[in-house]
Amino acid sequence: MTDTAPVRAARLSDVARLAGVSAATASRALNGSDRGVRDVNRQRVLEAAKTLGYTTNIAAQAVARGRSRGVTLVVKGIPDDFANPIIAGVVGATQRRGLPFTLVSAGPGPADLVEAVNLARSHRPEILMITGGRATDDATVPDLVEALQSYEAEGGRVVLITQEGLPFDTVAYANRKGGYDLAQALVGLGYREFAVVSGMEHGMTQRDRTEGFMAGLADAGIELSADRILIGEFTRDAAYAKTGELLRRKIPVEAIFAVNDAMALGVLTFLRDTGSADQVAVAGFDDIKALRDVTPSLTTVHLPWEQVADKALALAVSPREGSPRTEIVEGHVVVRESTPPLYR
């Protein structure tokens, strides 16, 4: 039997030589950094790495840097149909940059998020993202901020995909504007009698979307009274029940705005189950992919989920600035079959 000498694994210097770039440039390109790497050089480095069968020594990097390369996304306990577009967007963004991805799921309670952040910190990821709504009465916010500031002091980077207001780089949605634009669109279709199926009383997302919707109605001369705003959980089942409560109270309504698409689907299902689907229009917010299979197709506010993820990752890999940055992502109204024009 003949012994075969082991083949030496390709090194970073081999990749750099084949790509015709410096080792530093090759390293930044393979690490997904935007700093000082032209697109043409990035592509040459990736092709060279593929040709040579080069793989990054993650363990060595972790020892050298004091933390693991890649992105950890902490998702607060929210409905899957809301979390999934964000998760899918972040997964896609990390794949495009060749970065490892880890998901940590937090429970629904405010303290659960702090616990999940501390768990993620123990794995020492290079980038920590957090998504999920916040509440105005959340007493754990100081603990969360302290945990995240400690993580950044240890050399990590934090990016939030949520409402603005915390002292970290953030990608936030223009929730108020989206609600306002939707109200204006529905008024333009001829609707005058509205109700809102909102979420938890102190939730910032549902508050902003509801207040924006009310402002859009007010600018059209329509006042939304308190008995037409139904507060409940931020879920499809809660919206189903609240729609029944609304109709049992005999409140005249032409259109119902649910502050997310999952809740809008609950509204649509109740109307279908009770034979009222052709009597009340329904609109949502988010434009989740599940809507492609819904009949009637749902009017909603489209949010560009992939753009959100790309912006968040771009903030994470870019050089730090003196103060936290906030990127606001706007949606746009998509009118579909669930809100047919009314002719008066």
Residue-range domains of the chain with CATH: 12-56 (1.10.260.40), 68-173+305-329 (3.40.50.2300), 175-303 (3.40.50.2300)
Question: For position 2, what pLDDT does the model report?
Answer: 43
Query: Is the pLDDT confidence value at 97 over 90?
Result: no
Of 66-70, 174-178, 325-329, give the lowest mean pLDDT range.
66-70
Q: pLDDT tens digit string along 33-66? A: 666 788 888 889 888 888 887 766 544 555 455 5
pLDDT of residue 3: 46
How far CA 294 is from CA of 30, 267, 287, 297, in Å, comes to 41, 12, 12, 5
Of residues 285 and 236, the one with the higher pLDDT is 285
Torsion of CA 245, 248, 253, 254, to 10 degrees: 90
Residue 215 has pLDDT above 80, yes or no: yes
- DSSP state for residue 297 in the 8-state scheme: P
Mean pLDDT of 97-123: 81
Q: What is the mean pLDDT of the chain?
A: 85
How far is Cα 94 from Cα 305, in angstroms, rounded to an integer?
14
Query: How large is the average pLDDT for residues 65-85?
Result: 66
Residues 6+ apart with CB under 8 A from 28: 35, 36, 37
pLDDT at 78 over 60: no
- Amino acid making up residue 289: K
Q: Is the pLDDT of residue 112 over 90?
A: no
pLDDT of residue 105: 80
Stretch 285-309: mean pLDDT, rounded?
Answer: 89
**What pLDDT is recorded for position 200?**
75
Residue-wise pLDDT for 226-252, tens only, equals 999 998 777 888 899 999 999 999 889
**Average confidence (pLDDT) over 198-224:** 91
Specify the pLDDT at position 273. Answer: 93
pLDDT above 90: residue 113: no
Query: Is pLDDT at 95 greater than 70 in this prediction?
Result: yes
Q: Is residue 293 predicted with pLDDT exceeding 50? A: yes
Distance CA 333, CA 299 (A): 8
Closest CA to 213 of 307, 269, 288, 285: 285
Proportion of the chain above pLDDT 70, given as a percent? 89
pLDDT in tens, 115-171: 888 888 777 788 999 887 777 777 888 988 988 888 888 888 999 998 788 999 999
Rounded to two decimals, the pTM is 0.76
Of 12-16, 173-177, 217-221, 337-341, where does mean pLDDT reach its minimum? 12-16
218-222, 319-323, 328-332: least confidently modelled range: 319-323
Quick one: pLDDT at residue 59?
Answer: 45
Distance, CA of 21 to CA of 42 (rounded, Å): 10
